[in-house]
Amino acid sequence: MAKHQNVQKYKYYKIEDGKVIRLKKTCPRCGPGVFMAEHLNRYSCGRCGYTEWKKPEKKK
């Protein structure tokens, strides 16, 4: 694994009407400074390991 990976922080935020909007979900345990990774079926925190499972979508 690489020692350093470039983090593209501009992909985590959006500016709308002069206000900053976070695009990724934040970890409820770690606080507003830590974002959760989005996988196919879950959200997970890389810092503390907290996981939230996504609800399956019903197909019509």
Q: Sketch the domain layout of the chain as residue ranges.
A: 33-60
pLDDT reported for residue 28: 95
52 is in an annotated binding site: no
17 is in an annotated binding site: no
pLDDT reported for residue 1: 58
27 is in an annotated binding site: yes
**Cβ proximity of 10 and 20 under 8 Å:** no
> pTM above 0.75?
no
- Exposed / middle / buried, residue 27 (Cβ in 10 Å: 0-12, 13-18, 19+): buried
49 is in an annotated binding site: no
pLDDT along the chain (60 residues), means of 10: 76 93 94 92 95 86
pLDDT reported for residue 23: 93
pLDDT reported for residue 16: 95
